[in-house]
Amino acid sequence: MSRMRAIIGSYREPNVVSIRLIVGIALLARDTKSARLSMTVDWIWQHENWPHFCWQDRQLLPKLRQVHRNLGLLQGLHLSAHNTTLAHQTHALDTLLANVVASSAIENQKLNTQSLRASLACRLGIVEQSPYPTSVRSEGLAAMIVDVISNDEQLTLERLLQWHRWLFPADDRRSHQIRVGQLRGDEPMQVISGARDRLTVHFEAPPREGLEEALATFVDWFRSSLDEPSLDPVLRAAICHIWFVTLHPFDDGNGRITRALTDLALSQADNQSISLYAMSTVIFERRADYYRALEQTQRGGLDVTEWLVWFLDTLNVTLEQAQQSCTHALARNRFWLLHASDQLCPEQVMILNHLLDGYTQDGLPYISASQYQKIAQVSKSTATRHLTDLLEKNCLENEPGGGRNTRYRLKLTHDRSDNSK
């Protein structure tokens, strides 16, 4: 069993638990009924030995080995699939964009992705054709995420407060309802759901009194644990996540800043890979499980093994999805390399890219002449001529046993004789 000194409070982002529920963070639970509800719950931060976490190495070590193996595989695949500076930069931009959008979506916050992409591209030094207009909000989000992955300065409370200011710019209507760039007020902080007469308290944060000291302890740990040889850096990121989200230091935005901190910890573990995968996208896909794992941990004891298992499993899924994306990019690159000298018309290129991007017909990776005609917006005879040409050039092959309604699929493997065109 491993043990470490830390402080964790308990926090939970808006839940998805039931149909009629008003889900969200109850920022201002002032009435006595809410206070009575909260007193009946035993939270992790109420335990006598509260800052001391422990976990079971036997359950974690196989999953940790898999994480590090997947990280190594992903790096190798990425180098093969994105072997130019532009390809690497574009992939990093797409990944970071997906991560920020998903982290906001977890909180039911919608972003203007085009505006955010333009802001991120500018800060990453990527020149895009016809960039979309940026906004104060997109500039703030871009500034925060670039600071997370590129700033080598040590974590401080002021840095966290600056992230909060970037998250809630002055033109955001919510910035007038919360304390922006400040710690939360004295009101009890709860996460609740349910009808007004049947409220469920999913989490209550530690009291406001002592929050400065608790954050100072967290920041000191975050800085000193970076060089702690007995703490695996991936486990450090998982501990960082549950610890900070439990402290819940702000009126709003705690989940997004928690996930940004987790990305910072992961980037410190391996700054080569952090822009290659987007963990928030998988957390969003598993949002109900995410909330459940947090609540179970925050209602439990100081053994956080189950939370660490959930985090490692989710990270492994994230890395495996990123590997699949790289494998797909490799197949795409190889396909176009093989057909670089083919004289294809724009409609043929468009259809081939559709298929390479995963186009399916009736759930299968095929396309028929009628679908070709519809997508490419050409006549029936032109579609037939194009498809015959693609068959002759070994870009496509017939579906086995197609009969009258022949369908076509990509030809991704080639004999030597195939290339003697």
Instruction: Convert the pLDDT of each residue in 207-241 to its tens digit.
Output: 999 999 999 999 999 999 999 999 999 999 999 99
For 292-317, write each residue's pLDDT tens digit: 999 999 998 899 999 999 999 999 99
Beta-carbon contacts of residue 113 (< 8 Å; ≥ 6 apart): 97, 101
Give the model's pLDDT for residue 12: 37
Q: Look at the block and give the residue holding tokens 């702000």.
A: 250
Structure tokens at 269: 């573990």
Q: How far apart are CA 323 and CA 79, in angstroms?
A: 11
Q: Where are the alpha helices (DSSP H) in 248-342?
A: 254-269, 279-285, 287-298, 305-338
pLDDT for 420: 45
What strand order describes the sheet that includes 396-398? 367-368, 407-410, 396-398
| Segments of the chain with pLDDT less than 50 | 3-41, 416-417, 419-421
**Residue 180 and residue 417: Cα distance in Å, rounded?**
67
Tokens (6 digits) for 392: 């002759």
Contact 93, 131 (CB under 8 A): no
Can you read off the two tokens belonging to residue 207? Answer: 């009291």
Written as one string, the DSSP assignment of 133-194 is PP-HHHHHHHHHHHHHHH--SPP-HHHHHHHHHHHS-TTSGGGGTS-TTS---SS--EEEES
Task: Provide φ and ψ at 109, rounded to 5°.
Answer: -105, 125
230 phi and psi angles, rounded to 5 deg: -90, -5
Q: How far apart are the first and last CA of the chain?
A: 64
Contact 189, 248 (CB under 8 A): yes
Contact predicate 192/29, CB 8 Å: yes
- For the record, the structure tokens of 323 come out as 């590997």
Phi, psi of 8, deg, nearest 5: -130, 135
CB 13 within 8 A of CB 191: yes
Which residue(s) pair with 151 in the sheet?
none
Domains of the chain, each with CATH number or no CATH: 2-329 (1.10.3290.10), 343-419 (1.10.10.10)
Q: How many CB atoms lie within 10 A of CB 274?
A: 23
CA–CA separation, 284 and 98 (whole Å):
11
The residues facing 368 across adjacent strands are: 407
- pTM value? 0.78
Distance CA 147, CA 152 (A): 9
Q: What pLDDT does 175 receive? A: 67
Q: Which two tokens stand for residue 259?
A: 């996930």
3-state secondary structure of 369: helix
- Check residue 46 and give its pLDDT: 86
